[in-house]
Amino acid sequence: MTHYHRSTISSLLLLSLACAPDLLAQGGVLVSPGDRLNLEGSSYTSFPLGRASCRMQTLHADVPGNAVITGHGYRRDAIGVRGRIDGLAVEVQVTASVTSTLPANASPTFAQNRGPNPVVVLPRTWVVLPPTDRPALDPAPSFELLIPWAVPFVTPAQGGTLCLEVEVFANQTATASNQNVSLYLDAHENYLDGRAEQPGFRLAQGCAAPGSNRDSNASLVLWHRGAQMDLDVAVRDGVPDPGSGLVRAFVALGTQLVGQPWPTAPACTVYSSAELLLAMPGAVTATGSYDGSFAGLPVLPPGFRLWCQAGTIDLGTGALAFSDASALMTPPAGPLPVPTSRVVNSTNVAGTTGTVSLAVPVIGFF
């Protein structure tokens, strides 16, 4: 396995990405937070559509002036859960206004966030939401959970903060009514210091360490911290360390997705083209687990796809296990000032106050 000094990492990565295009395309949907157009959010949420009684405001300072909005939608989370999520019907009302309140200054009192001329763009009605399935790659290609408005809303030419208020009065699933359900909507957390978190999309299948019947797996998260990027890695069911201190974790980063067996372990598939191998600091545990970070990567162009795969190796015996693969899209720095926030009362649609957070659902306006 090749080891690289940190002084060479910048030149190696920038060489491989020198001709990379900016893949953040312009689309017909106005997305907020705006940097999530072609990027998966860092989290997921069931607010507001998965609650049986809920009031939620989202404040959007990144919606331009003169925008004609006829509805909004949510997209399926691609990272947090695999498989199909059932659809349901929700009884909702939607109100829109333009306020001078900035997202970072949102009040827990709903009335204080609304603009002076709120418009009920969707009077209380039932909306049917379809089932969703995990996409083949992040992010979900469309906003599948749509709420069309009965009244179009036009933002003023001078712009401002759009206050979107969604009230959920009831719901109906195939088996029950008025139950909280897990919808796993894509969401993203903003940070006041401008950092940005980008989780990896896990795919394919790892292989088991010698003597184990459990395939190794890994979760990868790339952080943009302004002057540098950091890679967080969590490996499970890797090669266990018998106490020698010789078992190490590594991550392969490549610009292409490949699929070929490892020469000495044909049951293990190598998925990354592996232009760069990172030897992770620290040791693997006696159960084959590893949690650590590689800090100080160069800032990479935003919107570039990296194909990654973690592994563990015993430097004494040569025992080896590869994890499943992760697709990582390089993020830009988090926008400042913070463009979005939310206030939610997840148990009472009639509540006058809620909890303020910078973790918001990724919303598409149409």
Q: Which of 16-30, 40-54, 67-81 has the lowest mean pLDDT?
A: 16-30
Q: How far apart are CA 188 and CA 184, in angstroms?
A: 12
> What is the percentage of the chain residues whose pLDDT exceeds 70?
92
How many other β-carbons are positioned within 10 Å of the β-carbon of residue 289?
16
HEC string of 135-158 equals: CCCCCCCCCCEEEEEEEEEECCCC
For residue 178, how many C-alpha atoms fall within 13 Å in the half-sphere facing its CB?
A: 6
pLDDT tens digit sequence for 173-232: 999 999 999 999 999 999 999 999 999 999 999 999 999 999 999 999 999 999 999 999
For residue 317, how many C-alpha atoms fall within 13 Å in the half-sphere facing its CB?
A: 15
How many other β-carbons are positioned within 10 Å of the β-carbon of residue 80?
18
- Two tokens, residue 290: 């590893």
Mean pLDDT of 232-260: 97
CB 329 within 8 A of CB 17: no
pLDDT tens digit sequence for 320-336: 999 999 999 999 999 99
CB 339 within 8 A of CB 351: no
Of the pLDDT bands very low, low, confident and very high (cuts 50, 70, 90), residue 278 is: very high
Q: What domains sit in the chain, N to C, each tagged with a CATH number?
A: 6-18+195-329 (2.60.40), 33-193+335-365 (no CATH)
Q: How far apart are CA 75 and CA 187, in angstroms?
A: 9
Of the pLDDT bands very low, low, confident and very high (cuts 50, 70, 90), residue 15 is: very low
CB 342 within 8 A of CB 359: yes
DSSP β-bridge partners for residue 177: 172
